[in-house]
């Protein structure tokens, strides 16, 4: 009886211990899950990108978009082996890179962006998902959707541009297919904006005074700028004051680029009134002094204490053969803006900090004649120290007796201020702020220089529209580490190091230890420790 | 702490004094080296560019060999660390020493982890070779990958120790550890498959169960070791949340090992 009792107590004790072990394990598991949950909270989580070119860091523009997403966005991935065998390799490369990029979007969006990998083998599921997304047909693509809105991004065309190359070695210039341009981050971010944004902001361009024309496709047209603004999610319109009447109410920004004919008193008054009530204005004059004078742009800018000077700012260029500074050629009036000559204004800060440039051509010197009462006007960038202002008749040479020279000239200004006649706010309402960007030459906006100035123009319009979070630079090229072709004969040595010398070293170490052990060396050392 | 160090030194000495450890290293490095050679030679023979970052990624995270080594090595090490000692009776001597069970477990774990760290340090040998003979890899990414591989190894060594503590038969411990590690690695994939197959079933019965499926997939992805590694370290990112993920799971498995040892003591 006593034995049975002790056996029962023993069982009870074991059950108790078992319960204790299991319950502590469950509690520990709960603690692990909770700590992990806490560590992944946005405020707590810290990321450090160790790669040399910050490949795992999204641009500030994308981060701004992710932070301001109003709701959840789903990105459906429909990636599969492409149909065209020629482009299969580059397609797969682009898809792999996009896959990595999508991981960043998911990780950095605080759960706002959800990536849905669709199993392309499972036809039934694919068809069901396509029905939900109102899609037909199959092509490698991403579908960005939020509610009813959706955007389809094809691998070839939207996420990347492929060069089919010249695979036939018998034909001249044979080359393998390659990725000509990879722009997935830009495309995905634009798609996120498109599916989540509400009302589009409208940018109007004045017409009727000989201005540069938005639909114009030639060198001095603005159709590339038009495309850029559309890509940025803006609506673009034209305003002819004499034909269209008052400035449209939905105008978020007005651009006046190279007017050659005089703006009427009414037009000037309407624009001044618009800016003074918190409007946004972009001004770029004609390079020609006579046209500038005729356009009356300085009269328009006078109330805001901004002024466009006469003449054209030129810089010495180096003669390609002698290397000496020289003048007299067309290049003196078209020059890159050195990051050292950029201010710390947020519009140009991305260029300054990343050491990139953009171009000016035939720019007038501009200056701030006084500060607005409730705001600030400041220069954006200047010319080089040894510059001069070429006056008509333009000879592109520095005439030190008659022309201002040997100093930096301001080439663009930004002004932001609160409207002076603001009535006291009753209830909560928007606090208006006027913004003006004056660039020394409208040429900087044209097709001929657009590719070099793409980032500058994008940032300019985003700044003037108070979308600072979208100021950014185009992504860098991927950091490819390719074995140099001139060192291909060293490859066997590398291979030998990998498969022969490294393992052999371990084998020798093992043999050495075995030998020492047989003589009582390391064994005794280890036991004594 | 001192006890942990004593156990660690003892285990490390015993591990590297035996030729078995070096033999395992030899085999692993031979396989890794052969794979790297194969990757390089295949690209070079096609006159295609030899992308060294892609080769390193294939070796340390993307390839099957990496995960195979991750699943095989820790069980073999852990089998020696506890089950074999238990079978030979030396564990009982160790436990009569003035050391806590936790100190014994942590010391043995660190020894096993050191072995794995040595194995994966081959990434530095390969990278230095590439820098010397060809072009340098992205050193930031190399360091991050190394830190990640050591942490992933830590999880599998710790998990293997749980099974090693639970049985006195080394081979059984190694087998159970392998199954355990494989299960832990594949748990999210198995779960996702299961949910996908249930999807059609549930859709027939209740219409759609999108939200429930999404919730379950999210929970499963939280314990996805491979994804946690590939999402951060593999790409050259040190993410505090991922560091916490690996350290907490290692701590959890070490805690389980300690409790298992303690339970054995009480069981007699």
Distances (CA, A) of B131 to A51, A108, A261, B53: 16, 33, 63, 12
pLDDT for the residue numbered A428: 46
For residues A453-480, give the mean pLDDT. 75
Does residue B53 belong to the interface with chain A, where contact is any CB pair within 8 Å?
yes
Does residue A178 belong to the interface with chain B, where contact is any CB pair within 8 Å?
no
A180 and A206 co-located in one domain? no
Does residue A72 belong to the interface with chain B, where contact is any CB pair within 8 Å?
no
Residues of B in contact with A25 (CB under 8 A): 255-256, 259
Does residue B130 belong to the interface with chain A, where contact is any CB pair within 8 Å?
yes
Return d(Cα B221, Cα B232) in angstroms, integer: 14
For B131-178, write each residue's pLDDT tens digit: 999 889 989 999 999 999 999 999 999 999 999 999 989 999 999 999
Residues of B in contact with A44 (CB under 8 A): 240-241
pLDDT for the residue numbered A262: 94
Q: Do B240 and A100 touch (CB under 8 A)?
A: no
Task: Name the residue with tokens 């052990």.
Answer: A517
Task: Name the residue with tokens 């798609």.
Answer: A191
A184 and A232 co-located in one domain? no
The CA-CA-CA angle for residues B131, B132, B135, to 5°, reads 35
**Alpha helix ranges (H) inside A240-394:** 241-244, 265-276, 289-295, 297-301, 349-354
Mean pLDDT of the residues in chain B: 88
**A334 phi/psi in degrees, rounded to 5:** -120, 110
Does residue A518 belong to the interface with chain B, where contact is any CB pair within 8 Å?
no
Final residue in a domain of this structure, among A173, A195, A217:
A195
For B186-218, write each residue's pLDDT tens digit: 998 888 888 878 777 776 666 666 777 777 888
Q: Do B19 and A488 touch (CB under 8 A)?
A: no
Q: Give the percent of chain B with pLDDT over 90.
A: 53
Does residue B215 belong to the interface with chain A, where contact is any CB pair within 8 Å?
no
Whether A5 maps to a domain, the answer reads: no
Q: How many CB atoms sit inside 10 A of residue A36's CB?
A: 18
For A303-313, write each residue's pLDDT tens digit: 999 999 999 99
A68 and A102 co-located in one domain? yes
The continuous run of DSSP H or E covering A470 comes out as none
Whether A28 maps to a domain, the answer reads: no
Does residue A480 belong to the interface with chain B, where contact is any CB pair within 8 Å?
yes
Between residues A178 and A366, the one the model is more confident about: A366
A238 and A106 co-located in one domain? no
Return d(Cα A259, Cα A297) in angstroms, integer: 8
For residues A42-68, give the mean pLDDT. 82
Q: Do A481 and B138 touch (CB under 8 A)?
A: yes
Between residues A62 and A222, the one the model is more confident about: A222
A215 and A176 co-located in one domain? no
Q: Is A261 within 8 Å of A289 (Cβ atoms)?
A: no
Q: Give the percent of chain A with pLDDT over 90.
A: 31
Give the pLDDT band (50/70/90) at residue A470: low
Q: Is A168 within 8 Å of A220 (Cβ atoms)?
A: no
Q: Is A491 within 8 Å of B134 (Cβ atoms)?
A: yes
Residue A411 confidence (pLDDT) above 90: yes
Task: Name the residue with tokens 């999880």.
Answer: B155
Total domains present in chain A:
2
A147 and A277 co-located in one domain? no
A190 and A216 co-located in one domain? no
The answer to whether the Cα torsion of A88, A92, A93, A94 is positive or negative is positive
Interface test with B, best of A29, A57, A502, A513 (most B CBs within 10 A): A502
For residues A22-37, give the mean pLDDT. 91
For B89-135, write each residue's pLDDT tens digit: 887 777 777 888 899 999 999 999 999 999 999 999 999 999 999 88
Q: Do B262 and A107 touch (CB under 8 A)?
A: no
For residues A179-196, give the mean pLDDT. 85
Q: Is A314 within 8 Å of A387 (Cβ atoms)?
A: yes
Say what the ipTM of the complex is: 0.86
pLDDT for the residue numbered A521: 58
pLDDT for the residue numbered A429: 46
Q: Do B141 and A119 touch (CB under 8 A)?
A: no
Return d(Cα B154, Cα A436) in angstroms, integer: 58
A251-257 and A334-336 strand pairing: unpaired
Does residue A513 belong to the interface with chain B, where contact is any CB pair within 8 Å?
yes
Distant-in-sequence contacts of A231-234, Cβ < 8 A, 24+ apart: A231/A190, A232/A190, A232/A458, A232/A461, A232/A462, A232/A470, A233/A190, A233/A193, A233/A194, A233/A197, A233/A200, A233/A201, A234/A200, A234/A201, A234/A202, A234/A203, A234/A461, A234/A465
For A341-379, write each residue's pLDDT tens digit: 999 998 988 888 777 888 899 999 999 999 998 889 999
Does residue A520 belong to the interface with chain B, where contact is any CB pair within 8 Å?
no
Give the pLDDT band (50/70/90) at residue A239: very high
Which of A47, A51, A482 minimises the CB distance to B135?
A482
A247 and A376 co-located in one domain? yes
Q: Do A44 and B53 touch (CB under 8 A)?
A: no
pLDDT for the residue numbered A158: 86
Residue B14 confidence (pLDDT) above 70: yes
A253 and A360 co-located in one domain? yes
CATH code at position A170: 3.40.30
Residue A524 confidence (pLDDT) above 50: no
pLDDT for the residue numbered A52: 82
Burial (CB < 10 A; 0-12, 13-18, 19+), residue A355, is exposed
Which of B10, B33, B251 minimises the CB distance to A503?
B33
The answer to whether the Cα torsion of B244, B246, B252, B258 is positive or negative is negative
Residues of B in contact with A13 (CB under 8 A): 266
> Of A261, A190, A267, A278, which Cα lies nearest the Cα of A229?
A190
Return d(Cα B224, Cα B183) in angstroms, integer: 11
Task: Tell me which chain A residue has its CA closest to the CA of residue B15.
Answer: A526
Return d(Cα A343, Cα A459) in angstroms, integer: 15
Whether A454 maps to a domain, the answer reads: yes
Residues 171-210 of B with CB under 8 A from A: 196, 199-200
Residue B55 confidence (pLDDT) above 70: yes
Whether A410 maps to a domain, the answer reads: yes
Does residue A118 belong to the interface with chain B, where contact is any CB pair within 8 Å?
no
Strand spans (E) along A42-188? 47-49, 73-78, 113-117, 141-146, 149-154, 160-163, 178-182
Return d(Cα A282, Cα A203) in angstroms, integer: 10
Whether A88 maps to a domain, the answer reads: yes
pLDDT for the residue numbered B17: 83
> Of B104, B115, B109, B17, which Cα lies nearest the Cα of B73?
B115
A121 and A214 co-located in one domain? no
Return d(Cα A524, Cα B248) in angstroms, integer: 36
pLDDT for the residue numbered A323: 63
Q: Is A239 within 8 Å of A254 (Cβ atoms)?
A: yes
Structural domain range at position A131? 60-195
For A106-118, write each residue's pLDDT tens digit: 888 888 898 998 8
pLDDT for the residue numbered A469: 62
Q: Do A32 and B41 touch (CB under 8 A)?
A: no
Q: Do A44 and B10 touch (CB under 8 A)?
A: no
The CA-CA-CA angle for residues B14, B16, B22, to 5°, reads 140
> Of B83, B133, B84, B118, which Cα lies nearest the Cα of B12?
B118
A312-315 and A306-308 strand pairing: unpaired
pLDDT for the residue numbered A44: 86
Q: Do A32 and B256 touch (CB under 8 A)?
A: no
CATH code at position A311: 3.40.50
Return d(Cα B86, Cα B84) in angstroms, integer: 5
A181 and A249 co-located in one domain? no
For A68-101, write each residue's pLDDT tens digit: 888 889 999 988 877 777 788 888 888 988 988 8
Does residue A39 belong to the interface with chain B, where contact is any CB pair within 8 Å?
yes
Q: Give the percent of chain A with pLDDT over 70.
A: 90
């Amino acid at each position: 009886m006593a034995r049975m009792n002790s056996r029962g107590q023993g069982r009870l004790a074991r059950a108790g211990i078992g319960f204790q072990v299991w319950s502590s394990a469950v509690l520990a598991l709960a603690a692990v899950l909770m700590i992990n949950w806490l560590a992944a909270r946005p405020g707590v989580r810290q990321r450090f990108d160790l790669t040399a070119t910050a490949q795992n860091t999204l641009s500030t523009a994308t981060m701004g978009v992710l932070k301001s997403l109003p709701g959840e966005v789903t990105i459906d991935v429909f990636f599969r082996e492409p149909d065209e065998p020629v482009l299969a390799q580059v397609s797969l490369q682009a898809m792999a890179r996009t896959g990595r990029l999508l991981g960043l979007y998911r990780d950095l969006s605080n759960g706002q962006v959800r990536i849905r990998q669709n199993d392309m083998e499972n036809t039934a599921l694919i068809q069901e998902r396509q029905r939900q997304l109102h899609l037909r047909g199959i092509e490698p693509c991403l579908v960005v959707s939020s509610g009813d809105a959706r955007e389809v991004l094809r691998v070839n065309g939207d996420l990347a541009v492929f060069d089919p190359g010249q695979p036939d070695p018998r034909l001249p210039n044979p080359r393998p297919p390659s990725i000509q341009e990879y722009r997935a981050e830009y495309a995905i971010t634009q798609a996120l904006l498109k599916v989540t944004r509400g009302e589009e902001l409208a940018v109007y361009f004045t017409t009727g005074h000989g201005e540069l024309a938005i639909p114009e496709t030639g060198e001095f047209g603005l159709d590339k700028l038009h495309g850029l603004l559309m890509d940025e999610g803006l609506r673009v319109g034209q305003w002819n004051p004499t034909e269209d009447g008052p400035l449209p109410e939905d105008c978020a920004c007005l651009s006046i680029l190279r007017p050659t004919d005089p703006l009427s008193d009414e037009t000037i008054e309407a624009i001044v009134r618009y800016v003074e009530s918190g409007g946004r204005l972009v001004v770029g004059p004609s390079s020609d002094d006579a046209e500038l004078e005729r356009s009356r742009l300085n009269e328009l800018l006078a109330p805001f204490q901004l002024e466009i000077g006469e003449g054209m700012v030129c810089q010495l260029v180096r003669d390609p053969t002698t290397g000496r500074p020289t003048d007299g050629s067309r290049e003196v009036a078209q020059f890159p803006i050195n990051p050292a000559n950029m201010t710390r204004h947020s519009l140009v800060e991305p260029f300054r900090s990343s050491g990139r440039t953009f171009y000016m051509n035939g720019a007038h010197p501009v200056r701030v004649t006084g500060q607005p009462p409730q705001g600030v006007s400041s220069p954006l960038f200047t010319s080089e120290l040894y510059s001069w202002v070429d006056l008509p008749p333009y000879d592109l040479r520095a005439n030190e007796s008659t022309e201002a020279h040997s100093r930096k000239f301001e080439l663009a200004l930004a002004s932001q201020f609160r409207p002076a006649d603001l009535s006291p706010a009753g209830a909560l309402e928007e606090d208006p702020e006027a913004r003006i960007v004056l660039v020394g030459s409208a040429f900087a906006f044209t097709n001929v220089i657009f590719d070099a100035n793409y980032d500058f123009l994008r940032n300019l319009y985003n700044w003037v529209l108070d979308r600072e979070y979208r100021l950014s630079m185009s992504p860098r090229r991927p950091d490819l580490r390719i074995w140099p072709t001139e060192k291909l004969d060293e490859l066997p040595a590398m291979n030998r190091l990998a498969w022969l010398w490294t393992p052999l070293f371990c084998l020798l170490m093992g043999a050495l230890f075995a030998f020492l052990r047989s003589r009582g060396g390391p064994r005794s050392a280890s036991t004594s420790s | 702490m001192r006890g942990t160090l004593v156990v660690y030194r003892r285990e490390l000495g015993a591990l590297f004094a035996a030729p078995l450890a070096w033999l395992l290293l030899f085999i692993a490095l031979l396989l890794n080296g052969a794979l790297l050679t194969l990757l390089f030679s295949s690209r070079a023979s096609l006159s295609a560019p030899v992308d060294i970052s892609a080769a390193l990624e294939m070796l340390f995270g993307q390839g099957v060999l990496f995960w195979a080594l991750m699943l095989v090595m820790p069980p073999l090490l852990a089998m020696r660390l506890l089950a074999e000692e238990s079978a030979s009776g030396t564990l009982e001597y160790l436990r009569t020493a003035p050391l806590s069970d936790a100190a014994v477990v942590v010391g043995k774990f660190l020894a096993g982890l050191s072995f794995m760290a040595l194995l994966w340090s081959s990434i530095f040998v390969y990278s230095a070779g590439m820098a010397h003979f060809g072009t340098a890899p992205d050193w930031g990414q190399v360091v991050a990958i190394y830190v990640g591989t050591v942490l992933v190894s830590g999880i599998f060594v710790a998990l293997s120790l749980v099974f090693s503590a639970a049985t006195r038969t080394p081979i059984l411990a190694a087998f159970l550890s392998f199954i355990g590690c494989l299960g832990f690695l594949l748990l999210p994939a198995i779960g996702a498959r299961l949910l996908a197959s249930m999807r059609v079933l549930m859709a027939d019965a209740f219409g759609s169960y999108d939200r429930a499926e999404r919730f379950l997939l999210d929970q499963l992805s939280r314990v996805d070791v491979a994804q946690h590694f590939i999402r951060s370290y593999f790409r050259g990112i040190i993410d505090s949340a991922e560091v916490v993920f690996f350290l907490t799971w290692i701590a959890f498995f070490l805690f389980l090992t300690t409790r298992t040892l303690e339970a054995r003591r009480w069981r007699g």
